[in-house]
Amino acid sequence: MGDASDEKTRLERAQAIGLFRYMLIREAADPTLGRRERGALVRQLAAMTHVDPDGRPIRISRWTLDRWVTDWRRGGFDALVPSPRQSRPRTPQEIRDLISALKKENPSRSAAQIGRIIAAQRGWTPDDRTIQRYIVREGLDSLTGPLQPAVFGRFEADEPNELWTGDALHGPMVEGRKTFLFAFVDDHSRAVMGHRWGFAEDTVRLAAALRPALAARGIPRHIYVDNGSAFVDSWLLRACAKLGVKLVHSAPGRPQGRGKIERFFRTVNGEFVVEIASGDGQPGRKIDSLLEMNRLFTAWVENVYHRRIHTETGAAPLGRWMSHGVFPTPAPADLTEAFRWSEHRTVSKTALVSLHGNRYQVDPLLVGQKVELVFDPFDLTYLRVRHQGEDVGRALPYQVSRHSHPKARPETPAEEPRPATGIDYLGLIDAAHTHTLADKVNYASLHPDQPSDGPHERG
Q: Mark residue 125 as left, alpha or beta (left: phi above 0; alpha: psi -120 to 50; beta: remaining).
A: beta
| Rounded (5°) CA angle 429-218-343 | 110
Q: pTM for this structure?
A: 0.59
Q: At what angle do helices 234-243 and 2-25 cross, to 10 degrees?
A: 40
Q: What is the mean pLDDT of residues 385-408?
A: 89
User: Is the pLDDT at 457 greater than 50, yes or no?
Assistant: no
Give the whole-angstrom CA distance, residue 157 versus residue 247: 15
Decide which of 84 and 264 is more confident: 264
**pLDDT for 193:** 96
**pLDDT for 362:** 94
Q: Which helix (H) or strand (E) covers residue 386, if one does?
A: strand 379-387
**pLDDT for 140:** 74
Confidence of residue 417 (pLDDT cuts 50, 70, 90): very low
Per-residue pLDDT tens digits for 136-176 = 777 776 655 544 444 444 578 889 999 999 999 999 988 88
Nearest to 95 by CA among 118, 73, 74: 118
Cα 364 to chain centroid distance, Å, stands at: 35
Q: What is the mean pLDDT of residues 420-427?
A: 56
Per-residue pLDDT tens digits for 308-331 = 999 889 999 999 999 988 888 999
Decide which of 86 and 94 is more confident: 94
Confidence of residue 281 (pLDDT cuts 50, 70, 90): low
User: Is the pLDDT at 242 greater than 80, yes or no?
Assistant: yes
Residue 422: which residues within 8 A CB-CB, separation 6 or more?
283
User: Is the pLDDT at 385 greater than 60, yes or no?
Assistant: yes
Residue-averaged pLDDT of the chain: 81
**pLDDT for 358:** 94
Integer-rounded Cα Rg, in Å, for the chain is 26
**pLDDT for 160:** 94
Confidence of residue 5 (pLDDT cuts 50, 70, 90): low
Decide which of 197 and 403 is more confident: 197
Q: At what angle do helices 62-75 and 35-47 cross, to 10 degrees?
A: 120
**pLDDT for 398:** 92
Give the whole-angstrom CA distance, residue 159 versus residue 187: 8
Residue 360: which residues within 8 A CB-CB, separation 6 or more?
352, 353, 354, 373, 383, 395, 396, 397, 398
**pLDDT for 366:** 94
Decide which of 11 and 154 is more confident: 11
Give the whole-angstrom CA distance, residue 101 versus residue 308: 61
Decide which of 27 and 165 is more confident: 165
Q: What is the mean pLDDT of residues 103-132?
A: 82
**pLDDT for 6:** 58
**pLDDT for 191:** 95
**pLDDT for 370:** 92
Q: Mark residue 356 as left, alpha or beta (left: phi above 0; alpha: psi -120 to 50; beta: remaining).
A: left
Give the whole-angstrom CA distance, residue 43 versus residue 285: 57
**pLDDT for 455:** 44
Neighbours of 86 (CB within 10 A): 12
Give the whole-angstrom CA distance, residue 195 versus residue 86: 40
**pLDDT for 252:** 61
User: Is the pLDDT at 101 greater than 90, yes or no?
Assistant: no
Give the whole-angstrom CA distance, residue 234 versus residue 249: 13
262, 170 contact by CB (below 8 A): no
Q: Answer positive or negative: Cα dihedral of 233, 218, 188, 199.
A: negative
DSSP 192: E
Q: What is the mean pLDDT of residues 46-74?
A: 82
Per-residue pLDDT tens digits for 433-443 = 777 765 555 55
Of the ranges 160-164, 199-203, 252-256, 332-336, which one carries the lowest mean pLDDT score? 252-256
**pLDDT for 71:** 84
